Structure 1
Amino acid sequence: MKKPNLRRQVAFWLLLPLLALLALDAWLTYQRAMSAAHVAFDRSLEYSLKSIREGTRLVNGTVEVDLPYLALEMFESNAGGKIYYLIREEGGRAVTGYPDLPMPSPRAAPESYQTSFYDASVRGEELRMSVLRLPVHDVPGAQTRVVWIMVGETIEPRQALARQILIGSLLQECLLVVLALAIVWLGVGRGLRPLHLLSAKVAARTEDDPAPLDKAGLPNEVEPLVESINQYIGRLRRMQESRRRFFTDAAHQLKTPLAIIQAESELALRETLNEPARLHLTRLNGAVRQAAKGVQQLLSLSRLDNDSSEIGMLAPLRLDKLARSATLDWSPVARARNIDLGFEHEADVEVMGNRELLAELCGNLIDNAVRYAGDGSIITVRVARVEEDPLLQVIDNGPGIAPHERDAVFERFYRSQTEQYVEGSGLGLAIVREIARVHHAQIRLGDAPGGGLVVSVRFASNVP
């Protein structure tokens, strides 16, 4: 599932109201543009009315109109719309023009010599109408007639002008919206920089670094987050220290009684006993030995879990000599079980490490191989270099470990299906993993040629 991005979310939630405001502004801009177009075009209509008025007169009681075609043609050519006109006597006949043009409503009817504007629909077209109520006089006969002069124009030119104004305004506003989003994008990125720095600080910390995070240089809004993280680090450190003390105290409390029980059982086995008693004592002695080993392993894990001082104790040492010594230490156990335990090395191999911890790592790997490969198996401890990196391998021809279990066997107290009938605590490989972590080494399980298991520990080439 794709993770949400804060900058994208801020930009998205700003974009929605900006688009809504842009739509509202577009509507308002179009209305203002239409009003401006009406003002501009209405002046032309008013000019046409005045031109027609000058050519309207009363002769012998009859209204005559000298229609200024030149003015109408000029008006039509400039605006690009259709022109409709009508000259009508008030309450009487249409003198000239389009007789179906609608008269203005009483509310829109102008006073004499005044011009009024209104909207109308004629022949399926929307018109903008101008109307002038003009009294005309026949001087010799002293007669008066009232004439309505109307000139209308289709509104397409006005709409085209309004759209042109709207498009220009929208282009400017869209540019402003894009610039605003870019500014917000950069601003949010700038504002999140302290969080990125904080994330880098947390990522750069080692797993066992108990020091609180530094709040210097962070904005006030981030300080509560850092304070919460520091409180969590403090609680976690106290919990880890309490657990380590518990394991250490419990192991020390158990070591002495277990040692006494083991010694007493071994002394009792030297006495003359009947077979059932000897069988029970032998089982008791084996269980005590296993418990003592488990206590020692718990002590090792407790020491390795959070003791960062082990990293500072690394020094150059010969890995091949250390592995040879561990192999010799386990030779008696291997001979007792008819196991062919051998050692191979190509050249002198040095690593940066802790001698005691690496000896325990080798011992645990050989112990696991002896236990789970079985009697009569072949085990080889090998030291070499791979691309200048020191490599320690323990190879056996036993049943191996199924691929789907190779990650799980490094968990504490995990017992694979091949280990169900073998004595063990399930802590050996967990200790190996922790020692490898302290030495910044990589551990991997693989298949041995011809069947079996290969445990490889690859160290960084710190020593040339």
Structure 2
Amino acid sequence: MSILGRTPSLRLQLSLWLLLPLLGLLALDAWLTYERAMSAAHTAFDRTLEASLRAMREGIALRDGRLEIDVPNLALELFDDKAGPHVFYQVRDDHGETVTGYNLPGPPGARPPLYRTVFYDTVFHEQPVRMAAQALPIHDVGSARSQLVWIVIGETIEPRQALAREILVGSLLQELVLVALALGIVWLGVRRGLRPLHRLSDTVAARSASQLDPIEHRDLPSEMKPLVRALNQYVDRLHRMLQARKRFLADAAHQLKTPLAVIQAESELALREPDGERVRAHMRVLHGTVRHAAKGVQQLLSLSRLDPESGYAPTLREVPLDGAARAVALEWAPVARRLGIDLGFEGDGPVTVRGQMELLQELTANLIDNAIRYAGDGSAVTVRVAQEADGAALLQVIDNGPGIAPAEREDVFRRFYRGESGQGVEGTGLGLPIVREIARLHEAAAGLEETPGGGLTVTVRFPAPGGQPLA
């Protein structure tokens, strides 16, 4: 199964991203709602406790120094509820002795002011209980004496919890309805918002393989325009790569058509010849044509690799330009000597550039090959490496041949261009285009100028360290 098959849809992902935070918020809200409900329940039921305290206070009297307590029914009827809470009460004197009721725990902390009701939570008989306590003086009218008593009354908290749960359930049901409505609205909004994306997907899917023109994005939402622009840039790069491939195939057909025809003709003639010497003559032509075709194919492959649309990016590091040029000049020295050409090298000292050694050697080899090929037998070719005052490096190949007319000096960098000076000279017309592409990859500039005294000077200028690109 593909990755796309296992990945949830965008609509489902958006729904999950919205649902999970909503569930978290709903849980937090449920906890807060329950706390608020319990607080409200305490407030309501505490009033009942306080009313019971006041009712009990009416039934306490002091006569002849003795406390008489008559707990009115009203004090306990206030708790008559279907929830059935357990009610506890206590009346005790100032010494803490129970006069009537249960031995309930008193309020924590210091003694509160008289007539002030204190509410507190405690545990009695292993049950959580809400208590209310009040201290008040009881006066004996006959003897003008008084005594301080404590009235404590409490109830278990089941009714309060039931009320809080009822409030919580009602609140949650209401919020669940709101959440469901919100999710429905979000779902519809996401579905409506994704319609332009579906239309774009249908538009792209309906295109043919050869339809590489840009996708129109004027009527799309602003959020989708960056995606369409990125798609158009990708399609444009793909179009350029396809064009580069077509150009390579056309160049290969152009370059190999003539050599293959010559090879076929010469091989047929060689097969018909009974004379061994004449066969060898045909084979020499055949061999030269094969060498020419092999070199053309090699240069075509190199040019295709260096094409700007191929995406090739060399690894540049500090390399000795003078060392690369000297090594190539030594490799071409036997060829120059065989043709009677004086091939020399000039260098003022170590010259370092940021580049790739293999490409620099290929650039130098193409320049020397062109100079030897077009300058003619008996000419002089000089490879020169120097460094200018501003830090820029120069690689020059200088010859004293016929040169190139100024009007053609830009045209010779085009593929397969053969100017007036190239007529009758064996060549492919790809050497200088390769030189310009390698120079471009090194941010260098390649140019032609006339040699003083006649001839041609090809100069490749490399930027100074940290300087601006020249290409």
Q: Using the alignment, how far apart are the partners of 2:100 and 2:52 within structure 1?
A: 15
Shift of the 114–238 alpha-carbon distance from structure 1 to 2, 3 Å rule, reads: closer
Q: Using the alignment, how far apart are the partners of 2:117 and 2:243 within structure 1?
A: 96
Match of 1:32 among 22, 31, 36: 36
Q: Using the alignment, how far apart are the partners of 1:166 and 1:153 within structure 2?
A: 22
1:368 maps to what in 2? none
Match of 1:257 among 256, 259, 262: 259
Q: Using the alignment, how far apart are the partners of 1:104 and 1:8 within structure 2?
A: 57
Shift of 1:116: 2.1
Secondary structure of the corresponding residue to residue 264 of structure 2: helix
Give TM-score, length-normalised by structure 2. 0.55
Q: Using the alignment, how far apart are the partners of 1:234 and 1:38 within structure 2?
A: 72
Matched, 1:105 2:108: yes
1:215 maps to what in 2? 217
2:136 maps to what in 1? 134
Match of 1:81 among 85, 93, 101: 85
1:240 maps to what in 2? 242
1:80-229 correspondence to structure 2 within 5 Å: 80-91=84-95, 93-98=97-102, 100-107=103-110, 109-229=111-231
Match of 2:76 among 58, 66, 72: 72
Deviations for 1:233-266, whole angstroms, at most 9, x for unmatched residues? 2222222222212212321332233223323433
| RMSD of aligned Cα (Å) | 2.9
Shift of 1:79: 5.0
Shift of 1:85: 0.4
Shift of 1:212: 0.9
Kindly indicate whether the alpha-carbon contact (under 8 Å) linking 2:132 and 2:154 is maintained by their aligned counterparts in 1: yes
Kindly indicate whether the alpha-carbon contact (under 8 Å) linking 1:60 and 1:141 is maintained by their aligned counterparts in 2: yes
1:352 maps to what in 2? none
Give TM-score, length-normalised by structure 1. 0.56
Q: How many residues align?
A: 284
1:51 maps to what in 2? 55
Q: Using the alignment, how far apart are the partners of 2:157 and 2:58 within structure 1?
A: 26
Q: Using the alignment, how far apart are the partners of 2:83 and 2:93 within structure 1?
A: 28
Shift of the 92–131 alpha-carbon distance from structure 1 to 2, 3 Å rule, reads: closer
Deviations for 1:340-366, whole angstroms, at most 9, x for unmatched residues? xxxxxxxxxxxxxxxxxxxxxxxxxxx
Unaligned runs of 5+ in 2: 298-471
Kindly indicate whether the alpha-carbon contact (under 8 Å) linking 1:112 and 1:132 is maintained by their aligned counterparts in 2: yes
Q: Using the alignment, how far apart are the partners of 2:123 and 2:271 within structure 1?
A: 122
Amino acid at match of 1:240: L
1:415 maps to what in 2? none
Kindly indicate whether the alpha-carbon contact (under 8 Å) linking 2:55 and 2:74 is maintained by their aligned counterparts in 1: no
Q: Using the alignment, how far apart are the partners of 1:229 and 1:106 within structure 2?
A: 75
Kindly indicate whether the alpha-carbon contact (under 8 Å) linking 1:76 and 1:82 is maintained by their aligned counterparts in 2: no
Shift of 1:144: 0.9
Unaligned runs of 5+ in 1: 296-464
Q: Using the alignment, how far apart are the partners of 1:50 and 1:268 within structure 2?
A: 135
Deviations for 1:249-300, whole angstroms, at most 9, x for unmatched residues? 32133223322332343344334357xx79x98xx9xxx9xx9xxx9xxxxx
Matched, 1:12 2:9: no
Shift of the 240–112 alpha-carbon distance from structure 1 to 2, 3 Å rule, reads: same
2:380 maps to what in 1? none
2:372 maps to what in 1? none
Secondary structure of the corresponding residue to residue 77 of structure 1: coil
Kindly indicate whether the alpha-carbon contact (under 8 Å) linking 1:110 and 1:131 is maintained by their aligned counterparts in 2: no
Identity of aligned residues (%): 60
